[in-house]
């Protein structure tokens, strides 16, 4: 995985520094925190974070494009602006590649996702749970139709049902 880095920009004024920041594009990185110092000259320190993008997942020998996983989550009422959307998307891809991860959610599954995003497994679990709860809160939304019981699914239940749904879509 690529490492985070900091780039320093200096110029005669803030407008010049901002122009330099806008012109400095690094493939595979997103611009993060910006620290600004204005004295005789303007200066900024910008943190660049690596972008991790899921391209595709496989079920056996069948390729499942990342867009298909996103579409399934959209259809279930997931909000793509939430971190849980990205984590759930990665989780589905990991389960499709290695179902045994589901046997130990907190020891294997969440840490595997967290490693991809350079974060803590408990944050991954909390963000996915929040996304599932928001999709469930719709009441009559698509998630309630996929998961027919009268309570919000646990994350293990959610991923198990979703995994089976994807396998059935791929088979049919």
The secondary element (H helix, E strand) that includes residue 111 is helix 110-117
| pLDDT at residue 5, as a whole number | 66
The residue whose two tokens read 């996915």 is 128
Domain residue extents for the chain: 5-50, 56-171
pTM: 0.62
| pLDDT at residue 37, as a whole number | 64
| pLDDT at residue 63, as a whole number | 45
pLDDT tens per residue, range 5-29: 667 778 787 777 777 777 776 666 5
Which of 75, 160, 161, 87 has its CA nearest to residue 126? 87
| pLDDT at residue 110, as a whole number | 92
| pLDDT at residue 124, as a whole number | 93
| pLDDT at residue 58, as a whole number | 45
- Would you say 90 and 54 are in contact if contact means Cβ atoms under 8 Å apart? yes
| pLDDT at residue 67, as a whole number | 63
Q: Give the Cα separation of 6 and 49 in Å (integer).
A: 9
Q: Which stretches of the chain score pLDDT less than 50? A: 1, 52, 54-64
Residue 165 Cα distances to 24, 36, 72, 96, 135, angstroms: 43, 49, 9, 12, 17
pLDDT tens per residue, range 147-157: 777 788 889 88
- Would you say 77 and 138 are in contact if contact means Cβ atoms under 8 Å apart? yes
Kindly report the CATH class assigned to 56-171. mainly alpha
Q: How many CB atoms lie under 10 A from the CB of residue 13?
A: 11
| pLDDT at residue 28, as a whole number | 60
| pLDDT at residue 54, as a whole number | 45
């Amino acid at each position: 995985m690529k490492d985070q880095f900091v780039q320093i920009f200096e110029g005669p004024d803030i407008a010049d520094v901002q122009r330099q920041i806008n012109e400095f594009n690094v493939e595979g990185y997103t611009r993060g925190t910006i620290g600004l110092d204005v004295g005789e000259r303007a200066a900024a320190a910008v943190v660049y974070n690596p972008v991790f993008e899921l391209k595709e997942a496989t079920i056996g020998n069948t390729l499942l494009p990342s867009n298909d996983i996103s579409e399934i989550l959209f259809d279930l009422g997931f909000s793509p602006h939430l971190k849980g959307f990205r984590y759930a998307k990665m989780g589905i891809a990991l389960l499709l590649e290695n179902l045994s991860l589901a046997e130990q959610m907190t020891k294997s599954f969440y840490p595997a996702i967290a490693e991809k995003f350079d974060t803590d497994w408990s944050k991954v679990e909390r963000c996915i749970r929040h996304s599932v709860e928001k999709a469930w809160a719709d009441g009559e939304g698509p998630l309630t139709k996929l998961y027919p019981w009268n309570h919000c699914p646990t994350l293990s239940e959610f991923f198990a049902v979703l995994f089976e749904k994807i396998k059935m879509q791929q088979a049919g």
